[in-house]
Amino acid sequence: MIDIPRELAASQEKFNGEAGRAFIAGLPDLTAGFLDRWELAPDGPPMHGVSALVLPVIRRDGTTAVLKLQLLDEESEGEPVALRAWDGDGAVRLLDHDEPTGTMLLERLDETRMLSLVADPHQAVVTIAELLAHLTSFPAPPGLRRLGDIARAMLDQTPWALPRIPDPEARALIADCAAAVREVVDEPGDRLLHWDLHDENVLSSDRAPWLAIDPKPLAGDPGFELWPALDNRYDPDDILWRFDAMTDILALDRSRARAWTLGRLLQNALWDIEDGRPLDDDQLEIARRLRKPRSGKI
């Protein structure tokens, strides 16, 4: 019997309601079924994020792996597509996949060596940028969600959202973010994006110093990838250094990267407004700092 972490059950209840409750209720049988089907033996306590159960296992041939079980949705269904495209080159390797349930068997990385544990935030930002430069060099496979469609949907939703922001300065800032997205929406890009490469989604392994995990892939412009590294270990005085370092390493046009990065704030703000949450002050400050033109830079 696999113990289902209470935190995972609570997050599924919060974010997915009845579907989340049904997923948690069926998780013990689902796990047992894949342990039997793929001839796996549990090899430690289960781990979890917001949406997935990750169980360390040993395969029949004695190699280690992890079994990842998650509720199939528009984000998780693209994960095996991206991992197959990268094929272990800069990202965790996909070993097996069940399409109907979204269950995956993945190589086991070292969860005790996470990029978030690196003391120097500049080193962490450079590591993320170097990984992104490699991962986004791959063209997006067919069938992934497309940044252009997401951006147009955000722009369609903005007129509804703006009157629901009570603070005039914040409302003007979100309007500026939408204006920036409007300038680039017709050229959304075609690269394979991870979309969620923060410093807890980068782990070490014996075969590579750092590998990406848990993509929520899109087809689009690499400028849309920078936000998590600006928000990790938030430091307002470091935002511009991080932005410049990442755009240099990824060889991005700074004006376009700025627009797509402001698009990430627009996306987050729309989610907050939909859910009745206040806008995040730290995220607003990131946008304030980025939208100010600087000589020779943005």
Residues tagged active-site? 196
Instruction: Assign 279 to helix, strand or coil.
Output: coil
CA distances 136 to 130, 183, 267, 274, Å, are: 10, 22, 21, 30
Backbone angles phi, psi at 6, to 5 degrees: -60, -35
Which residues have C-beta within 8 Å of that of residue 108, sequence separation ≥ 6?
56, 64, 65, 66
Mapping DSSP to helix (H, G, I), strand (E, B) and coil, where does residue 150 land? helix
Q: Which two structure tokens, joined as six digits, stand for 136?
A: 């986004």
Q: Return all residues near 294 (Cβ < 8 A) that are at least 6 apart.
A: 240
Question: Helices (DSSP H) in 162-253: which residue ranges?
Answer: 168-184, 227-231, 239-250
| Token representation of residue 182 | 């409007």
**CA separation (Å) from 124 to 5, 54, 180, 181, 254?**
29, 24, 28, 27, 21
- Cβ-contact 200, 114 below 8 angstroms: yes
What's the rounded Cα separation, in Å, for the pair 200 and 206?
18
In degrees and rounded to multiples of 5, residue 244 shows phi and psi of: -65, -45
Q: How far is CA 17 from CA 3, 91, 227, in A?
A: 21, 31, 28
